[in-house]
Amino acid sequence: MVKFAFKCFVLCSVLFFGVLIGMQQANEGMIKMKGYNDPELQGAFQVENKQTGDVQASILGNKITSQDLKGKQEKLEQIEAFNIFSQIGKQIATIVSNSVAAFLESIAGWINELVR
């Protein structure tokens, strides 16, 4: 299950970055087709280094800064939401894991009795 989730994550990441690269290539093609650089045509992904040493990125025109990410992380830590479905899922997983382990141990014991 973990391998499947990892493969899906990698595949989605590759496809996402492929779309961004395709949009960037389309933007460059439009600039070449126009024959001049139009300041209103922005790239899909831009990274800017400021004089203060900060790095600012923008994806599809939305600016992303490290301060935004820190603020969002602090907000998530403050929420500390309790998800009842997550807790129920964890309990069911524990029960199923323990029951399967007990079942396999009993089968292994039964096979050992037959072999002796």
Show the CA angle centred on residue 69, arms to residues 65 and 70, nearest 5°: 115
pLDDT for the residue numbered 30? 76
**Model confidence pLDDT, tens digit, residues 10-31:** 999 999 999 888 888 887 787 7
- Give this prediction's pTM: 0.34
Q: Is the CB of residue 47 less than 8 Å from the CB of residue 57?
A: yes
**Whether residues 35 and 52 fall in one domain:** no
The rounded distance, in Å, linking the Cα atoms of 91 and 85 is 10
pLDDT for the residue numbered 70? 75
The rounded distance, in Å, linking the Cα atoms of 88 and 94 is 10
**Whether residues 75 and 48 fall in one domain:** yes
Instruction: Please give the mean pLDDT across all residues of the chain.
Output: 80
Classify 16 as helix, strand or coil. Answer: helix
**Whether residues 88 and 74 fall in one domain:** no
**Whether residues 48 and 37 fall in one domain:** no
pLDDT for the residue numbered 65? 63
Q: State phi, psi for 63 to the nearest 5 degrees.
A: -80, 135
Question: What would the two tokens of residue 1 be?
Answer: 């299950």
In which residue are the tokens 């199923």 written? Answer: 96
The rounded distance, in Å, linking the Cα atoms of 52 and 48 is 11
Q: Which domain holds residue 63?
A: 44-81
Higher pLDDT, 51 or 103: 103
Classify 43 as helix, strand or coil. Answer: coil
Higher pLDDT, 114 or 49: 114
Domain count, the chain: 3
**Model confidence pLDDT, tens digit, residues 72-106:** 777 777 776 667 787 888 899 999 999 999 999 99
The rounded distance, in Å, linking the Cα atoms of 56 and 51 is 11
**Whether residues 37 and 62 fall in one domain:** no
